[in-house]
């Protein structure tokens, strides 16, 4: 057993991040307070520019949350009430809720059980005359097969919105979220690979007209103060959050690299296990490992392993215990148990193990040893 076995191992470590960045975060906050520019302004503009450049996108539009990024992204792509938008049943509920917020209909297609990502072949089967958009989710920090989705969308004349809330800095075949889709959305919620001290979101796009629409939609459709060209909302990224994110962005790649190194250690520990089975990696994927996820297939259930780990001060998590289509709020969409067997099996079996840039190799060893032992009991 590794050293210091009673130290809690948690999904994120805000204190360690703060210690690493030293006074830079405080300086950024004080500078922004002194500037008096609290909503949009230079800090937000700098983040929009740098975050877009980091991902190889032409435009970045800062908004209030990752949910708003999806909702406004769909509106900017022209999705209307009554349209069908195809997405995954195995995601955070916001991916589907954003579609329903517009009065469009979330149409679900099952995931690839190996990766837990939306499967282009299964999506194609769900397309109909009312479909206007496909919404792939880059779950856990691994990008979906965007080349296949781009080909499909072009063939059928559909829009493509990528949900990259968990995929900051991730790539597939060298391309990042928001560059193959018509737009890509991000969340800066506290726990994300690039997290604010609160809420925040961003949409990336290569298209000038989509960027223009988003800038208006986030600010009550207003190109100039008190001129309103379309119905929008108030969803403007706050300068204090952008100031913190500007300090953190230069560290994102190094932090993601560290996550990948820790993931490789978990992989080595679980190699050959029939009871603790990591999700598969797609070829050409540069995974951001927002989560390191295994399936528990041993004598003990996932929930039993989760509880026993917590008793040993190891705090894993389950993203997500109930698939979208079995949520009460999804009842109007007409789905039921058994409709998406891969998503339902994943919801029963997945366990997300602690993975953040401030974990040590021996922390990972301790988690892996305990998961293997508990799953086999």
Binding site for ligand PLP (CB under 6 A): 65-67, 91-92, 94-95, 137, 163, 165-166, 187, 189, 199, 201
Pick between residue 32 and residue 91 the one whose CB is nearest to ligand PLP: 91
41: left (phi over 0), alpha (psi -120 to 50) or beta: left
CB 130, CB 150: distance < 8 Å: no
Q: How far is the CB of 234 from ligand PLP (least distance, A)?
A: 15
- Least Å distance between CB 166 and ligand PLP? 5
Q: Closest CB to ligand PLP among 248 and 366?
A: 248
Q: How far is the CB of 340 from ligand PLP (least distance, A)?
A: 17
CB of 199 to ligand PLP, least distance (A): 6
Which residues neighbour 67 within 8 Å (Cβ) at sequence distance 6 or greater? Answer: 94, 97, 98, 187, 201
Beta carbon of residue 132, minimum distance to ligand PLP (angstroms, whole number)? 20
C-beta closer to ligand PLP: residue 32 or 67: 67
Measured between alpha carbons, how far is 170 from 291 in angstroms, rounded to an integer? 12
For ligand PLP, the closer of residues 196 and 364 by Cβ is: 196
The residue nearest ligand PLP at its CB is 66
Which residue has tokens 């080909």?
151
- The 3-state secondary structure of 277-303, one letter per residue: EECCCCCCEECCCCCEEEEECCCCCHH
Residue closer to ligand PLP (CB basis): 89 or 298: 89
Q: How far is the CB of 144 from ligand PLP (least distance, A)?
A: 12
Neighbours of 321 (CB within 10 A): 13
Structure tokens at 305: 């392993």
Which CA distances in Å does 18 have to 15, 182, 191? 5, 35, 14
Which of 43, 199 has the CB closer to ligand PLP? 199
Residue 68 parent element (H or E): helix 66-76
Q: 203 vs 364, which CB is nearer to ligand PLP?
A: 203
d(CA 288, CA 172): 11
Q: How far is the CB of 358 from ligand PLP (least distance, A)?
A: 20
- The three-class DSSP label of residue 236 is coil
């Amino acid at each position: 057993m590794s050293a210091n076995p009673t130290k809690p191992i948690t999904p994120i470590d805000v204190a360690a991040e703060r210690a690493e960045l030293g006074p830079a975060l405080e300086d950024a906050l004080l500078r922004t307070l002194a500037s008096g520019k609290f909503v949009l302004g230079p800090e937000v503009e700098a983040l929009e520019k740098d975050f877009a450049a980091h991902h190889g996108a032409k435009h970045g539009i800062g908004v209030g949350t990752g949910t708003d990024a999806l909702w406004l992204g769909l509106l900017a792509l022209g999705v209307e009430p009554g349209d069908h938008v195809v997405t995954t049943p195995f995601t955070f509920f916001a991916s589907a809720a954003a579609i329903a917020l517009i009065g469009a209909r979330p149409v679900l297609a099952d995931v690839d059980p190996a990766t837990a990502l939306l499967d282009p072949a299964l999506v194609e089967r769900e397309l109909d005359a009312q479909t206007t958009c496909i919404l792939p989710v880059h779950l856990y920090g691994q990008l979906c097969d965007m080349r296949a989705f781009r080909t499909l969308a072009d063939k059928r004349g559909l829009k493509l919105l990528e949900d990259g809330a968990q995929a900051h800095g991730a790539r597939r075949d060298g391309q990042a979220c928001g560059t193959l889709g018509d737009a890509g959305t991000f969340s800066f919620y506290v726990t994300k690979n690039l997290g604010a001290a609160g809420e925040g979101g961003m949409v990336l796009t290569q298209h000038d007209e989509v960027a223009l629409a988003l800038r208006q939609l986030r600010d009550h459709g207003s190109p100039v103060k008190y001129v309103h060209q379309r119905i929008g909302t108030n969803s403007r990224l706050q300068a204090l959050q952008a100031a913190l994110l500007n300090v953190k962005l230069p560290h994102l790649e190094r932090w993601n690299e560290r996550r990948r190194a820790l993931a490789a250690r978990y992989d080595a520990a679980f190699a050959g296990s029939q009871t603790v089975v990591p999700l598969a990696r797609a070829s050409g994927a540069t995974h951001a490992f927002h989560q390191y996820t295994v399936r528990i297939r041993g004598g003990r259930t996932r929930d039993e392993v989760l509880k026993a780990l917590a008793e040993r001060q190891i705090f894993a998590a389950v993203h997500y215990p109930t698939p979208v289509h079995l949520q009460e709020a999804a009842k109007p969409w007409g789905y039921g148990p058994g409709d998406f067997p891969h998503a339902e099996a994943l919801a029963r079996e997945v366990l997300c193990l602690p993975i953040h840039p401030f974990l040590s190799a021996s922390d990972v060893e301790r988690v892996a040893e305990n998961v293997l032992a508990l799953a086999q009991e």
